[in-house]
Structures are given as structure tokens and as C-alpha cells.
Amino acid sequence: MNLDSEMTIEDYQTALAEGRAEPLDWWHACAARIDQREPEVEAWEALAETPAAPDDSHADRLLCGVPVGLKDIIETVDLPTRWGTRGYLHSDGGLVDAALVTLLKEQGALIMGKTVSTEFAYFTPGKTHNPHDLTRTPGGSSSGSAAAVADGMVPLAFGTQTAGSMIRPASFCGVFGFKPTFDTVSAAGVKSFAPSLDTLGWFARHIEDICTTYSALTRAPRIAPLASLAGVRVGVRSLPGDVAPDDDTEQALRHAQARLEQAGAELVPLELDARYEALIEHQKVVMAYEAAQTLASEYARFAAQMGSKLVELLEEGRAIGHERYLEARRATNTMQQALSGVFDEQVDVILAASAAGVAPEGIEATGDPLYCRAWTLLGVPCLNLPLSQGTAGMPVGVQLVADRWQDQRLLQIASTLMRQEVPA
């Protein structure tokens, strides 16, 4: 079967059912692409051996035969894990697979390998390059997963977000990146960084594949697009609101607004008070405090080998008082309720910036998660839409944000938008 870049997961399942494809066809196509491109992109930390073909019991599974990448902080029995440490911490395989991995296998997915992560999913970058321009970062911390999907090495890959580690690399690499409502998918078997923030999510080149994967992992009904976006209220508001987006991001937001209006949505200028702006600092406090607790053993043993940015954060976290941490957590709870009121009364989704412009040059840093911090702290679902290009033709995305547990509504709206014809 000819597996082109326009094929969705659902297309492949149809081809399997009709006998036009075999269960390992997509695996072999991805393996060939990896052989061709991995020496330049360097998205992978470890690759799996060719698996046995899924048996007939998987024929009705939503992800049958779909090759999947896993961020290298997700435990597997049969692949090593290095947690982005470049080897100072190493496991040849866990005692059991992470819960996510088991759920994927139950749905017929094939684990292609472990993708590059930054060190413990923080800021110290790995080796991965942006496939659109090898001199630029793919973003982080889910660097390899975003790059592998963007380059066609796999149709689906998983990462985590604690600040902006899904949405930012999705924007930089020009793919869909979905961070669902906090705790939608169990993080059992995934290395914690800040447990009240860490959220499993996934990357794909097609919005349909984001939706199929959501249904596969949650057992939710299939997500079908709406007839139109007529009556859908879209609030336009980035957090923070007191930092002006750069020209590329501003253009991407304008383009997205035009697309939404063409699809029938109503744009609503959204006023959010100063308490929302304060969430940026609250997120930094929660992340640092919890990381210092979670990585206490690693810090005690490996501080001399850790990257300077990680050490700085852990020491900052150790200096944060418990009352300051509780203040941040209480503010989070208050603002989650306040934001739910905004969604109930004013808007269905919010359109916001995904990242501070296109991917920066160089791979020594992964970019700024500024525009993701507040949404991650609030635990709301966020979806990067790869709608625009900026400087040097590089991708620049925008994100749609919904209220907690409104993931299906968010994906419905996004699916409808992406089906909208764009005037020439």
C-alpha cells in the first residue's frame, strides 16, 4: 500500500479492514523514513525491533498497526529509559510498562521507540533538530516526539507538559499538539517533575488523529465535526496579556481569527483581570517547589552532573516556603472556578498564542513557555493549531483552550475549523 502523508489513522484502519494494507505496512514505512532522516534530525533515543504483526483480536482496535513514539521519560519493559540525562541515569527497562503504554498496546498500537526528551523534561536540551530547519530548536521538553511527527517518522507520538512542553514544540514544528485536561490519561509509569502540573499529551499531523487517539485512550465516542461553527463563541486572549506578541505570533492570531470567522464563529474580546496575570508566577512557584520534592534523590546523587538550568530550578524550589506554595495552589483553585464561570457565561473556547514566535535559531535552548504556563497551571485542555508560517517560512501556531473536561467539545470545534475551505 502507498502510505502518503495525507493518510490518517482512520484511513489506515479502513485499508486494513478492506485488505488493502497489512498490519506492519505503516511500521515499515516509518522505519524507512527514520533510516533516511534520523542522522540529521536526531529525534530518537532508542528504537524498537520490528514487532510481530498484531493478531486478529486487534483488528477492531482504533490504533491497530499504528507506529507510536514515546517521550523518553515514559517507562517500558523492553526499551531503555534515560530521562533526557544523556546516560548518567539509565534503566534497561522497567518492571512494567507505563499505564499509557499498556493502553496503547491494547488498542493495537506498535511502539516505535523512545523519543528525545530534555533533561527530566525541563530546559536542558537534547540533541534533536527542527526538521523544518536543522539549525533551529524543535522546542522542548517533548523535543523528539514533536520532531518525529513533523518529519513523518511516526504518525503519532506522546509527550508531557509541565509548563509548555507540548504546545510550544507543536508550534515550532508545525504539527497538532494536544494537552488534554489534567489527569485525563494516567501518568503511572511516567517520571514526575511537578505532579500537579505534569500532563500526558500527543502530537499528530492530522486533527483527525488527535481525535481518534483521544477516543482510543478514554473510550469516549468518536468525535465528529460540527455542521459549522455558527453560534460558537471564541474569546481572544493570551496569558500573559501584558506582553505584546511578536509580529509572527500576532500574524498567526489574526490569521486564526479570520479562519474562525469564515467558519461562522463569533469572536469575543475577552477581559481577564489581574488575578489571571498572576498565574504565570504561581505556575513557576508550583513547578519549582514540586520539582525539588520529586527530584530530591536525583539531586542528592547527581547534582554535579545535572545541567545548570535544572540545578538552578531545584535550588530555587528548595528555597520556596511551604506557605508560598500553598498560596499558589489556593490561587489556582480559585481561578479554575473563575475561569469555568467565563466559559459558562461568555465563551466556548479561547484563542491564544502558543509560543513567542517561531523556533529560535540554535539548539542550545528550547524557547520560552511563557504563553502556556497559566493554562497548564489551570489544568485546562489546550490544542496547538498549525495554521501559519512566520520568519523564514517557519511554522508558528496558535492554541485553542477550553474549560476542564470539555476536551471533546474543543476537539469538535477544532475539527470543524480544519475542514473549513480556505479561500485562495
State yes or no: is 127 an active-site residue.
no
CA 26 to chain centre: 22
411 vs 8: CA distance, rounded Å = 16
Q: Which of 143, 165, 238, 415 is catalytic?
A: 165
Cβ neighbourhood burial of 78 (10 Å; 0-12, 13-18, 19+): middle
Residues 6+ apart with CB under 8 A from 32: none
Q: Which of 105, 117, 141, 179 is catalytic?
A: 141
Read off the C-alpha cell for 101: 503504554
State yes or no: is 165 an active-site residue.
yes
DSSP string over 291-356: HHHHTHHHHHHHTTTS-HHHHHHHHHHHHS-HHHHHHHHHHHHHHHHHHHHHHHHT-SEEEEE-SS
Q: Does 141 sit behind a cis peptide bond, omega within 30 degrees of 0 on the bond before it? A: yes
Read off the C-alpha cell for 105: 498496546
414 vs 355: CA distance, rounded Å = 19
Instruction: Please give the helix or strand (H or E) that residue 415 lies within, else none.
Output: helix 407-419
> Count of CB atoms within 10 A of residue 100's CB?
23
State yes or no: is 117 an active-site residue.
no
Q: How far apart are the first and last CA of the chain?
A: 32
Residues labelled catalytic: 71, 141, 165
